[in-house]
Chain A
């Protein structure tokens, strides 16, 4: 495809069925714009979507995509990117998908630092199953399964990411489409795991610390009273896992038979 990719090229012909006013619309538009603005095209892009309202993104976007099993989107993205580092890999899902059923994978994907982007639509609720509390729901949040509040602490995904050695930790507000797009674009450009928590309700102000300042990032992330927008921490020397492992070429092309020197493998057993 030519270089004049527009963000609408990433739109499928399916109409989103999200509720009117849902933050997922803005989140997805920002993802499509960011992909187009970073010079990607649908045939070289792989989107992995989780299960949830947010996971439907895979359906409404046009690219190579897999809409997988609840909570396992990150491992799929990991496999795609390593097997073909030439693809732009974007993983998207909800707070339940990423921080509850998939929480184990989240921590390990952060530490592994594969060069891909992870966009979480953090609406602090289980949307698809119609309104149960989620791992990011606040303690006093009343839902059908928490009529008296959740009686448990919400998880702080940004802190989890920082503790796991994250190299790009950001938060955007789905309501601020321009900033959201810019932040996702930076996550795409980051060499490593670009993590963007998209906070759906309207949040607080911007901040102005140096993004490479770990301690400043820590203070901001641990501030439980406010929600900030922006790239909170970035390790500018980050190198993606697949690069560190020496993977440079797609693994897709293989010879028509066993490799030329394959008898050497047998001889090793003499």
Chain B
């Protein structure tokens, strides 16, 4: 019996899968169990199918695996879609009174639990609660104390009145009782609980919370999956700090509003996904050349064009690095975990203001839609530092004026960073423009000044490389011959894969890179390794190309672009395949 429990609910779009899954995840979290959820499933058959999976353990969990222990199947298809993850010990809860499930039989040795979900829900007060009945049944099957489910139901439905909460609790109880009294289930699940207080949140929420911690006051955006949660998180909270969320008419507008707010002196941000990044690219060069601090969050999804809007991909790396005409300095940060989404957001705001340039903060669908538990201390607000860079006031502005007393917003300096006067600062009035300009911000095409301004902007990057910490996160065995490198959200799956590989006698050194530009120099690590493998969720290996470019060495690539994130056991097998090691017999057989 493994020490993690893998649970899922699946059905058709509109079956309330997401909210039911979240309720169960919350219940496990309340019980002090760690939770890692996923709901980004590409159908193997056709669209319309949705599922919410929860992996849970008393220890921290950071990835999904290819194993399903308990499945609430609202449709036959849910079972078909998951056949390769189900095993002989799996329990499938279904409603045999639902017409489409009347002929259902659990495959192989699996246990099928026919629970009249709809009928019991009606008994409790309404058919709408049938998924909650199923949750009660799942508690009974796993020996999980239903009191934790009650707490979760209170959190979810508390705002709708006590009657609704009570009905839902009753529905859960009826499900549990039915299983207890009517069915003979023998499982060896034993869902331990702990006294840990854990918080459960997704990557978009972590980004939003990071923005509030960092003093972000202005957010403009246009809704797009999977970035919308950032906007929805901020709306209703940012106002408490005197800020605002503006829903713009499109992303062209959103980024320009955010730019305007930043020029006015607010910490400002927008968030979007691929199609919106394309539109914002129009203004990107202006942000950079006017030296405006702006955080642009790109929660990547599968492209190109409208692509697969609810599926995972890390395909925008080059768009962020090179997007836009002309040559424009920018930073690209790629948090590797949900908690890092918080920390990197704070960092992004500081970097944007210290270096007065646009910062791409890039998450992806896997981070955005995954709920994960953390100790609250992971988000220690006392650790948050704010650095607004070279902002001048009425006094210090004198150091930065020319002989006529005019402020020099693009003063050519040794470190490339110029002073910044926020509007309203006496004697600071100046013009900013997307045209090439002189120190005062006035248009120029004069050769020497053009070169000085380009060099000055590039020098900010050099300064940042010297002054800031751009290091990787390192895991595994530092002396291993095999080096795995990845960027962004693959960290969790790869860390779990390292354990699986180590158990099979294969040691791996793993560098997880949260900075795409500037990025750590990995030449030494690459040279020290016998095999270098770059793991990423795209087809062409955009980050692998960068590693090859930086280290002047060829690397192996593991790429995934079917719309589903890496799973730990799958990744371990892929690494073995690259190394020419035999596959794991058990995984093979499943």
Contacts and interface: CB of A to CB of B under 8 A. Distances in A.
Contacts of B215: 254-255, 259
Contacts of A62: 429
Contacts of B262: 79, 83
A90 B54 CA distance: 53
B283 A79 contact: no
- For the residues of B in contact with A, the DSSP-based class is mixed
Contact of A80 (B249, B264, B382, B428): B264
B86 to A, nearest CB: 31
Contact of B220 (A42, A79, A252): A79
Interface of A: 1, 12-14, 42-46, 48, 58-59, 62-69, 71-72, 74-84, 86-87, 104-105, 107-108, 242, 245-247, 249-252, 254-259, 262-263, 265-267, 269-270
Given A82-B246, A104-B250, A251-B218, A262 B381 contact: yes
Contact of B257 (A44, A67, A79, A252): A79
A128 to B, nearest CB: 12
Contacts of A104: 249-250, 252-253
Nearest to B422: A252
A32 B472 CA distance: 53
A43 B425 contact: yes
A257 B385 contact: yes
A78 B257 contact: yes
A48 B214 CA distance: 27
Contacts of A46: 263-264, 423
Given A58-B431, A59-B431, A252-B422, 18 more contacts: A42-B429, A45-B429, A68-B286, A72-B252, A72-B256, A72-B282, A75-B257, A79-B218, A79-B256, A82-B257, A104-B252, A108-B248, A108-B249, A250-B264, A251-B261, A251-B267, A256-B386, A270-B200
B244 A257 contact: no
A68 to B, nearest CB: 6
Contacts, number: 218
A72 B199 contact: no
Contact of B246 (A1, A68, A78, A265): A78
A75 B253 contact: yes
Interface in B49-108: none
18 contacts: A46-B263, A64-B428, A66-B260, A66-B263, A67-B432, A76-B260, A77-B260, A83-B261, A104-B249, A108-B249, A250-B264, A251-B264, A251-B266, A252-B264, A254-B388, A258-B382, A259-B212, A269-B199
Contacts of A251: 217-218, 242-244, 261, 264-267
A79 B221 CA distance: 12
A247 B431 contact: no
Given A79-B218, A83-B217, A68 B212 contact: no
A84 B432 contact: no
Nearest to A45: B429
A239 B431 CA distance: 29
Contacts of B209: 265-266
B344 to A, nearest CB: 15
B444 to A, nearest CB: 11
B423 A247 contact: no
Contacts of B237: 265
Nearest to B426: A43
Given A68-B286, A79-B268, A257-B386, A108 B424 contact: no
B258 A79 contact: yes
B434 A68 contact: yes
A258 B199 CA distance: 19
B384 A258 contact: yes
Contact of B376 (A44, A77, A266): A266
A63 B253 contact: no
B585 to A, nearest CB: 41
B477 interface: no
A122 B263 CA distance: 27
Nearest to A267: B376
Contact of B379 (A1, A64, A80, A266): A266
A63 B422 CA distance: 12
Interface in B226-283: 237, 239, 241-244, 246, 248-250, 252-254, 256-268, 282-283
A258 B257 contact: no
B321 interface: no
A83 B205 contact: no
A82 B424 contact: no
List of 4 A-B pairs having minimum Cβ-Cβ separation, nearest first: A79-B260, A254-B215, A75-B256, A251-B217
Nearest to A270: B199
A65 B431 contact: yes
B443 A59 contact: yes
B350 to A, nearest CB: 12
A63 B423 CA distance: 9
Contacts of A74: 253
Contacts of A107: 249
A78 B256 CA distance: 9
A266 B381 contact: yes
Interface string B5-48: 00000000000000000000000001000000000000000000
B241 A245 contact: no
A259 B260 contact: no
A1 B429 CA distance: 12
Contacts of A249: 242
